[in-house]
Amino acid sequence: MAIDYGHLMSLESRGNRFRYGDQETLLYALGVGMGRDPLDDQELDFVFERGTLKTVPSMASVLANVRLLEDCGWDYSRVLHGEEGLVLHRPLPPAAELVADARVVEAYDKGADKGALIYTETEVRDAADDLPLFTQTRSIFARGDGGFGGATGPSPAPHPVPKGPPDATCVRETRPDQALLYRLNGDRNPLHADPALAQRVGFPVPILHGLCTYGISCVALLDTVCDHDHTRIAGFDVRFSAPVYPGDVITTDMWLDGDVVSFECRVGARGVHVIRNGKCTLRS
């Protein structure tokens, strides 16, 4: 079964309901590296409900998993997560019931030998007041599905990162078991847990979830430019460029320009960038 452009562009799913509580909020924060030092008073507010529990803004990426593209005709075994974008209309509460509407925005045909790039958007409301909470955008690179007759123009340009040395840097270690912990947020893809499967598809060990790397970069900015004030982050966009292996040390470089922080993440020991073209928008 191949991708049918008309069918793909017609895909939408409205009125999907999801619910999360403080347990999911705590688990997400632990999964992206919060609380490694249990005596760190600032991080404790994200992993211990001693008062008003703080939320890591990137948690929005796992809260409304609408299975929009599940039967779209692609070769799922060759699919990669390309980009993740987030607009937070207001800070995430530590618990809520959500209503999500998802749709395909566009699908770009990069050619039979290059693949397809599919963009989706999910708009999420808080069921308590039916007002917008966040908007999530995502691009998926379907490597085996080019030549289906989709849009052939250029796909959206990524956020440009300034040249020159960064204004700030944050270094955070990942744990060897981090993928096993993070997968409890909902992504049970065995690629992140099964060593034999990882080796069959070309990786020496199971890789870390891209959205876990996304969360780690968000924690780095919370720590470095937000003084752990989660309400300051209003937008968070990245482009994934290489996998992370559990145990890698991730360095996040940041360039500050008013309410916009450009950033990239690299694993120095392997000489690779794992996130490029990052853009964090801050509330004044």
Predicted confidence band of residue 1 (pLDDT cuts 50, 70, 90)? low
What integer pLDDT is reported at residue 267 of this predicted model?
Answer: 98
Task: State pLDDT tens for residues 34-46.
Answer: 999 999 999 999 9
CATH class of 5-282: alpha beta
Q: Helix (H, G, I), strand (E, B), or coil: what is residue 160?
A: coil
Task: State pLDDT tens for residues 228-280.
Answer: 999 999 999 999 999 999 999 999 999 999 999 999 999 999 999 999 999 99
Show Cβ contacts of residue 41 under 8 Å, excluding neighbours closer than 6 positions. none
What integer pLDDT is reported at residue 284 of this predicted model?
Answer: 83
Predicted confidence band of residue 51 (pLDDT cuts 50, 70, 90)? confident
What integer pLDDT is reported at residue 2 of this predicted model?
Answer: 82
Q: Determine the Cα–Cα distance for residues 83 and 98; give it in Å rounded to an integer.
A: 23
* Residues designated as active site: 187, 192
Q: Determine the Cα–Cα distance for residues 85 and 71; give it in Å rounded to an integer.
A: 23
- Mean pLDDT (whole number) for 12-38: 97
What integer pLDDT is reported at residue 76 of this predicted model?
Answer: 80
Residue spans per domain, the chain:
5-282
What integer pLDDT is reported at residue 257 of this predicted model?
Answer: 97
Q: What rounded mean pLDDT belongs to the chain?
A: 95
Task: State pLDDT tens for residues 122-148.
Answer: 999 999 999 999 999 999 999 889 999
Q: Which residue has the higher pLDDT, 99 or 144?
A: 99
Please classify residue 106 by burial: count the beta carbons closer than 10 Å to its beta carbon, then call 0-12 exposed, 13-18 middle and 19+ buried: middle
What integer pLDDT is reported at residue 166 of this predicted model?
Answer: 98
pTM: 0.95
Q: Determine the Cα–Cα distance for residues 96 and 133; give it in Å rounded to an integer.
A: 10
Residue listed under structure tokens 């890789």:
207
- Checking if the pLDDT of 75 tops 90, the result is no
What integer pLDDT is reported at residue 65 of this predicted model?
Answer: 94
What are the start-end ranges of the H helices in the chain? 5-10, 22-31, 41-47, 178-182, 195-200, 210-224
